[in-house]
Amino acid sequence: MADKQQQVVVKRARHKSSVKDPGTPGVLKMTKDRFTFMANDPSSPVKLNVEFRTIKGHKFTKDGTKQALLNLTQDQGGNYIFEFENFPDRNVCKDFVASAIALSGEAGRTVPEKSAVPIQDEQLSAAEMERRIKLLQEDSDLQKLHKQFVIGGILSEAEFWATRKKLLEQNYSRRPKQRVALKNDMWSTKPLADGQIFAEKPAVRQAYLNFVPNKMTEKEFWTKYSRAEYLHSTKNVIAAAAEAAEDEELAVFLKQDDMLVNEARKKIRQVDPTLDMEADEGDDYMHLPIQDHGLPRNDNKDVLDSQYEPYRRSFSQHLNQHAAVVLQGRVIDVELGDTRSVAEALARTKHAELAKDASDVYLDKERLERISRMTEIEDLQAPRDPAVAPLSIKDPRDYFDSQQANAFSTLGDTVSGAKQLKCSVSTREAYCSLKECISEIKFQGLTEPTINSEVAFKVLNGLAQNISSNKYHLGRNPNESILDSLPKITREELLLHWSSIQELLKHFWSSYPITTKYLLTKATKLKDAMSQIYPKLQEIKESVQSDLRHQVSLLVQPMLQALDAAFAHYDADVQNRSARSGERPNGF
Amino acid sequence: MSPPVPSKILTDDVSLLMVLIDSNPHFWSSIKPHFSFSKFLSHVLAFLNSILLLNQLNQVVVIATGINSCGYVFDSSSGSVSQRAESLLPKLEEFAENDESLSERDDDSGNGVGSSLLSGSLSMALCYIQRVFRSGPLHPQPRIICLHGSPDGPGQYVAIMNSIFSAQRSMVPIDSCVIGIQHSAFLQQASYITGGVYLKPQQLDGLFQYLATVFATDLHSRNFLQLPKPVGVDFRASCFCHKNTIDMGFICSVCLSIFCKHQKKCSTCGSIFGQAQTRDPSASQQRK
């Protein structure tokens, strides 16, 4: 293609504001991402410097007409008309512009381009389109293929994606799982709209739902809550008990949170008992100078009566619960204004979770299985089925790499190979000699020494050389292949051609036998695309340095053979078709 | 079967080695000037004894591959004491007798060397391995090594591919040491697919050295040893109808059987291929 060799195109041209305008003569210079026009006359106001990004299309007059015009159109309706001295000049610029527009269009805005292209034979949902676009953005190889074939008009969108359903599904399930966290603000007393208090203290939430607006207004509710908090902060448990006895609603805030307790119990049950947590010095709590995680201990703990137990609150409990809530993040996705709706939403979420856990029998079963596996008593186990390797579809790239040596072997080889061994004795004699050999060993014993030391040495050397030369050729990494020793450009080209050929051949062979006109046009299109790639492969073979030429030709050979077979089949089919259609008018 | 072994003794490198010895008399007489069966046996017996010496718990089982039958000729774990490899000799003689009696009265002189029943011995080896798997949670790591020389019989293609796939599924590598004149496409595929080692020794009188250096390595050690790699694998298949090796053919879309010519009905699964238009098997190209 022209742009590969020419990064810059400079041509004399006239810039016209309309077709009839004689135009200003000047020089048009085009690079990959912009073009500039400088008028010959320095005093002329016509100076252009336009990026190809803004150019949407190009129009041109036919070869042989009066003027060699090239019109570059923009989205907003503006255009630039250039007249060239002759048609070859204009055509060079035209090709360059075409590739530049395609290049900048693809680099800049992939999303709108892709959504504009698919000719909708099928109803695509927005989600499906999104998935495809995302997949294309992530995988540049796929994008190249897509650009080459679908936008090049050789394959349709439906055909391209037909074999890639699995890829699309995988992509779909990889949704972002992160959520926004809550503010880590322990001591704010304001009932924030994000419901942090409700998240941390389910009893308060429950109380709110129950009491407001039936028993008290919101203001009263929060007043009582603040009173309860105040009482807690004084750490006067007895006073708290006393006030709780008087005021029923206050008692709710002062007592320990049963719902929290239940939640904690549930969480403990979910902990994996098979988790191997080995304790080390860092886990030594007992000998810390300060008990209770650095918090001063209340030494009068044991003095209190049992009736005051429910009113005691431990700071560490509060801390843990707060931490858990902050880490969990926003459970409800929506920003709700009203306190009541926040409370309800939270309650609903908790209910849903509970229901899910209750019905999650499968989870339970899995846990039990895991536990039994870790603590199994060997004698009592039933025989287990042996481990098996799962089925997998191999990467076709593996076959590409391992075909190198076989590129030049043809069918003829196996035939000639079989001829080499000839058995000239009868079966009976053959068996006799076999049995003789066995008896020979039985009576004479193994030969001493088993192997001659020189031969052994030679063998070891040979093996070592073989392995090290493989390593040299194939590289340290066993997965490296000859491909990696080629210059990067060649390698990229080869791989691109290989994947394009794979794709084309896949569609080509699947359209046979040709039964409808659609299949016929499809096969023809594919065959044309393949014949374009064919000379490129030949070029690559020739363009590479001489020391690598043999290896490259080994790599290219199977691709050429595959293309040849496809062409042969196509030609044979075309011949058959024409022979048949030639017969028909005679037949009837 | 030996009694279950406590896990402390069953280390990573304990192996169960299934050795498939090619006992095709035609092949051995055709190769006589270069290499004799007795020399071959002495190398192999020395090798088997060394395997048994490498680890007290190693097991070796030898299966002879004849042209009419296959049979077990040695099992190191049978009997109360671990046996030496030489005890396979009388059994091998018996096997040869038996195999001869099964062959037809045809003299076969002047024909090319026929193929031996590789598919049969592969299947027998895999069955033995399955039995070991089911004997308990602790067992040695099994692998199969084929000492093979006879040419590939295209008629065995289907059976061999099936054994290869079951070996792959049970994660049993198939190593191949080819002592014949030409490479064996079946064994190349077998080693490639199952992750084993394929080797065609250049010098047959150094066979013991090859065996001891390359094939004696247990599966655990292979993770950090460099073993010889073949340059390329011949992936060509044979058609199911004529057993010819083909490059391009037809495939049944139901059971993936390969045919060289267009057929009306699949001989494997019985699906009926419609008239050229609708339900033909799609013509597919097999890459070289």
pLDDT of residue B106: 59
Residues B244 and B215 in one domain: no
Closest to A229 in 3D by CA, of A201, A209, A208: A201
Indicate yes or no: CB of B28 within 8 angstroms of CB of A437: yes
**Residue B61 clears pLDDT 90, i.e. is over it:** yes
**Residue B134: which CATH number?**
3.40.50.410
Could you tell me what percent of chain B has a pLDDT over 90? Answer: 46
Indicate yes or no: CB of B41 within 8 angstroms of CB of A441: yes
Q: Which residues of chain A are within 8 Å of residue B151 when distances are taken between CB atoms?
A: 417-418, 421
Q: Which of B109, B284, B287 is opposite residue A399, by nearest beta carbon?
A: B287
Q: What is the mean pLDDT of chain A?
A: 73
**Residue B282 clears pLDDT 60, i.e. is over it:** no
Q: Between residues 72 and 131 of chain B, which touch chain A (CB distance below 8 Å)?
A: 86, 89-90, 92-93, 96-97, 99-100, 103, 106-113, 130
SS3 content of chain A, % helix, strand, coil (to 5): 60, 10, 30
End-to-end C-alpha distance for chain B, whole angstroms: 45
Higher pLDDT, B283 or A320: A320
Tokens 């008290």 belong to A216
Sheet strands (E) in chain B: 15-22, 59-65, 70-75, 141-148, 174-178, 198-199, 237-238, 245-246, 248-251, 258-259, 283-285
Nearest CA-CA distance, residue B171 and chain A, Å: 6
Tally of CB atoms within 10 A around A83: 20
**Residue A425 clears pLDDT 80, i.e. is over it:** no
Say how far apart CA A414 and CA A54 lie, in whole Å. 61
CB pairs under 8 A between A and B: 216
- For residue B109, the cross-strand partners are none
Least confident of A16-30, A102-116, A349-363, B75-89: A102-116
pLDDT of residue A109: 46
Buried/exposed code over A41-58 (b: 16+ C-beta within 10 A; e: otherwise): eeeeebeeeeebbebeeb
Name every residue whose Cβ is closer than 8 Å to that of residue A477 and which is 6 or more positions away in sequence.
none
3-class secondary structure, A541: helix
Residue A8, H or E segment: none
Counting every residue, how long is chain B?
288
Pull the structure tokens for residue A354. 């509970």
Closest to A138 in 3D by CA, of A172, A165, A177, A89: A172
3-class secondary structure, B171: coil
Indicate yes or no: CB of B30 within 8 angstroms of CB of A424: yes
Tally of CB atoms within 10 A around A161: 21
**Confidence label for A83 from pLDDT (cuts 50, 70 and 90):** confident
Residues B219 and B241 in one domain: no
**Residue A552 clears pLDDT 70, i.e. is over it:** yes
Indicate yes or no: CB of A403 within 8 angstroms of CB of B287: yes
Q: Report the phi/psi class of residue A467: left, alpha or beta, with left for phi > 0 and alpha for psi in -120 to 50.
A: alpha
Asked if B137 is an interface residue toward chain A (Cβ–Cβ < 8 A), one would say yes
Residue A470, H or E segment: helix A453-474
Residues B205 and B262 in one domain: no
For range A326-342, the mean pLDDT: 66
Residues B48 and B132 in one domain: yes
Helix H, strand E, coil C: the string for B236-285 is CEECCCCCCEECEEEECCCCCCEECCCCCECCCCCCECCCCCCCCCCEEE
pLDDT of residue A394: 72
Burial, B286: exposed, middle or buried (Cβ in 10 Å; 0-12, 13-18, 19+)?
A: middle
Output phi, psi for A282, to 5 deg: -65, -20
Answer whether A575's CB lies under 8 Å from A545's CB. Answer: no
Higher pLDDT, A31 or A125: A31
pLDDT of residue A483: 63
pLDDT of residue B200: 92
In a domain, B284, yes or no: no
Residues B17 and B90 in one domain: yes
Nearest CA-CA distance, residue B151 and chain A, Å: 7
Answer whether A386's CB lies under 8 Å from B133's CB. Answer: yes
Least confident of A107-121, A306-320, B74-88, B170-184: A107-121
pLDDT of residue A96: 82
Say how far apart CA B129 and CA A516 lie, in whole Å. 53
Q: Which residues of chain A are within 8 Å of residue B31 when distances are taken between CB atoms?
A: 421
B180-213 pLDDT, tens digit each:
888 888 999 899 889 999 999 988 999 999 999 9
Q: Which of A386, A409, A423 is opposite residue B133, by nearest beta carbon?
A: A386
Nearest CA-CA distance, residue B62 and chain A, Å: 15
A126-166 pLDDT, tens digit each:
777 877 787 777 777 777 777 777 777 777 777 777 777 76
Cis peptide before A112 (omega within 30 of 0): no
Say how far apart CA B72 and CA B88 lie, in whole Å. 9
Indicate yes or no: CB of B25 within 8 angstroms of CB of A430: yes
The question of ipTM being above 0.85 is answered as: no
pLDDT of residue A283: 66
Q: Which residues of chain B are within 8 Å of residue A409 when distances are taken between CB atoms?
A: 234, 288
Least confident of A89-103, A274-288, A414-428, B60-74: A414-428
Indicate yes or no: CB of B38 within 8 angstroms of CB of A427: no
Higher pLDDT, A538 or A1: A538
In a domain, B192, yes or no: yes
Q: Which of A389, A458, A463 is opposite residue B169, by nearest beta carbon?
A: A389
Residues B90 and B26 in one domain: yes
Higher pLDDT, A239 or B47: B47
Q: Which residues of chain A are within 8 Å of residue B89 when distances are taken between CB atoms?
A: 438, 441-442
In a domain, B283, yes or no: no
**Confidence label for A479 from pLDDT (cuts 50, 70 and 90):** very low
**Residue B177 clears pLDDT 90, i.e. is over it:** yes
Closest to A37 in 3D by CA, of A5, A70, A61: A70
Say how far apart CA A534 and CA A291 lie, in whole Å. 80
For range B15-44, the mean pLDDT: 92
Question: Helices A339-358 and A202-211 meet at what angle, rounded to 10?
Answer: 120
Nearest CA-CA distance, residue B68 and chain A, Å: 12
pLDDT of residue A118: 43
Q: Give me the number of domains chain B comprises.
A: 2
Residues B208 and B243 in one domain: no
Indicate yes or no: CB of B134 within 8 angstroms of CB of A505: no
Pull the structure tokens for residue A86. 């002759």
Taking CA atoms, what residue in A is nearest to B29? Answer: A430
Indicate yes or no: CB of B203 within 8 angstroms of CB of A383: no
Global pTM reads 0.57
Taking CA atoms, what residue in A is nearest to B182? Answer: A417
Residues B262 and B165 in one domain: no
Q: Which residues of chain A are within 8 Å of residue B180 when distances are taken between CB atoms?
A: 421
Taking CA atoms, what residue in A is nearest to B171? Answer: A389
For range B171-187, the mean pLDDT: 91
pLDDT of residue B117: 94
Residues B13 and B91 in one domain: yes
In a domain, B231, yes or no: no
Residues B245 and B200 in one domain: no
> Which of A163, A419, A451 has the most B C-beta neighbours within 10 Å, making it the best mutation to test the interface with B?
A451
Indicate yes or no: CB of B203 within 8 angstroms of CB of A404: no
Least confident of A288-302, A350-364, A385-399: A288-302
- For residue B62, the cross-strand partners are B19, B74
Q: Which of A387, A430, A474 is opposite residue B26, by nearest beta carbon?
A: A430
**Confidence label for A369 from pLDDT (cuts 50, 70 and 90):** confident
Q: Which residues of chain B are within 8 Å of residue A404 when distances are taken between CB atoms?
A: 231-232
Residues B218 and B241 in one domain: no
In a domain, B86, yes or no: yes
In a domain, B3, yes or no: no
3-class secondary structure, A427: helix
For range A114-122, the mean pLDDT: 44
Say how far apart CA A24 and CA B127 lie, in whole Å. 89
A38-52 pLDDT, tens digit each:
888 877 777 888 888
Indicate yes or no: CB of A438 within 8 angstroms of CB of B130: no
Indicate yes or no: CB of B285 within 8 angstroms of CB of A562: yes
Rg of chain A over Cα atoms, rounded to whole angstroms, equals 40
**Confidence label for A172 from pLDDT (cuts 50, 70 and 90):** low
Answer whether B214's CB lies under 8 Å from B198's CB. Answer: no
Taking CA atoms, what residue in B is nearest to A431? Answer: B25
Residues B136 and B195 in one domain: yes
In a domain, B282, yes or no: no
Taking CA atoms, what residue in B is nearest to A464? Answer: B228
End-to-end C-alpha distance for chain A, whole angstroms: 50
Least confident of B51-55, B216-220, B238-242: B238-242
pLDDT of residue A286: 65
**Confidence label for B278 from pLDDT (cuts 50, 70 and 90):** very low
SS3 content of chain B, % helix, strand, coil (to 5): 35, 20, 45
> Which of A379, A380, A431 has the most B C-beta neighbours within 10 Å, making it the best mutation to test the interface with B?
A431
Across chain B, how many H-helices and E-strands are there? 7, 11
Q: Which long-range contacts (CB under 8 A, 24 or more apart) does A460-463 make?
A: A460/B209, A460/B213, A462/B202, A462/B203, A463/B210, A463/B213, A463/B214, A463/B228
Indicate yes or no: CB of A440 within 8 angstroms of CB of B235: no
Tokens 């304990």 belong to B14
**Residue B3 clears pLDDT 70, i.e. is over it:** no
Least confident of A163-167, A299-303, A530-534: A299-303
Q: Which of A399, A427, A463 is opposite residue B108, by nearest beta carbon?
A: A427
pLDDT of residue B277: 46
Nearest CA-CA distance, residue B74 and chain A, Å: 15
Answer whether B73's CB lies under 8 Å from B88's CB. Answer: yes
In a domain, B2, yes or no: no
Least confident of A480-494, B56-70, B137-151, B152-166: A480-494
Which residues form the domain of B243?
Answer: 236-276
Higher pLDDT, A247 or B58: B58
Say how far apart CA A396 and CA A501 lie, in whole Å. 12
3-class secondary structure, A588: coil
- For residue B21, the cross-strand partners are B64, B147
pLDDT of residue A174: 60
Indicate yes or no: CB of B229 within 8 angstroms of CB of A478: yes
pLDDT of residue A304: 54
Q: Between residues 13 and 72 of chain B, which touch chain A (CB distance below 8 Å)?
A: 23, 25-32, 36-39, 41-43, 45-46
